Amino acid sequence: MISNLLRSTLTAVCLAALPLAALADAQAEAAKRLNELLSSAQTMTGGFSQMTLSANGANLQETTGTLALKRPGKFRWHTDPPLEQVLVSDGKQIWLYDPDLEQVTIQAMDQRLSHTPALLLSGDVSQLQENFDIQWTEGGSVQDFTLTPKEADSMFDSLRLSFSNGVINDMQMSDPVGQRTNILFRNVELNQALGDAQFTFEVPDGVDVISE
């Protein structure tokens, strides 16, 4: 009787573990596929359109601009007027320039993927599975990945990356207060030669500098 009870218990434990094993395998495969897609783009240039929505769906802001990214960790996002801003990183620090305020904010770059989403497109993505729970769906030439940070203090609750024919198409991010940011990429070119000069920022004369 004891042997039968033990056998039944072990069987139940093994059966209960099957969904967990399948989930772990799915997570590993999703992380592998996303890593391959992101890592294949050592540089990226293009344009973007960005829309920010409130928790109740109200349109808070719409902007357009251009971007350039280069691994590891270098990026330049230039938002067009009338809400012009320039965000630049050399992989170690970030400059945020607001021409209207005549102000530059300089800070060390947070290397955590869950705190600096731009690093998903330009940084080290070898630790995706350690940082996120990842869901992956595929339909024809489109692959969608939904990332949920494992750290409680992440700057976003979830982030979706969509690829079409292996190229990033859009990014959707939801923050802890329910605000959503949608970024649509256009005219994307990958792996073009990019110099490092555009990933540093020369502070214009007469501009206030704030260091954090």
The order of strands in the sheet holding 132-139 is 132-139, 142-149, 158-164, 167-174, 180-190, 43-53, 59-70, 74-79, 85-90, 93-98, 103-108, 208-211
Domain count for the chain: 1
Strand blocks (E) in the chain: 43-53, 59-70, 74-79, 85-90, 93-98, 103-108, 132-139, 142-149, 158-164, 167-174, 180-190, 208-211
pLDDT in tens, 20-65: 555 567 778 888 899 999 999 999 999 999 999 998 889 999 999 9
Q: Quick one: pLDDT at residue 22?
A: 56
Mean pLDDT computed over 73-96: 94
Segment among 41-55, 76-90, 144-158, 176-190 with least mean pLDDT = 144-158
Q: Quick one: pLDDT at residue 24?
A: 65
Q: Quick one: pLDDT at residue 7?
A: 55
Q: Give the structural domain span for 77.
A: 2-211
Q: Quick one: pLDDT at residue 17?
A: 44
CATH at residue 195: 2.50.20.10
The confidence band for 167, taking pLDDT boundaries of 50, 70 and 90, is very high
Q: Does residue 104 register a pLDDT over 80?
A: yes
- Tell me which DSSP letter residue 198 carries: G
Mean pLDDT of the chain: 87
Mean pLDDT computed over 89-103: 94
Q: Quick one: pLDDT at residue 4?
A: 62
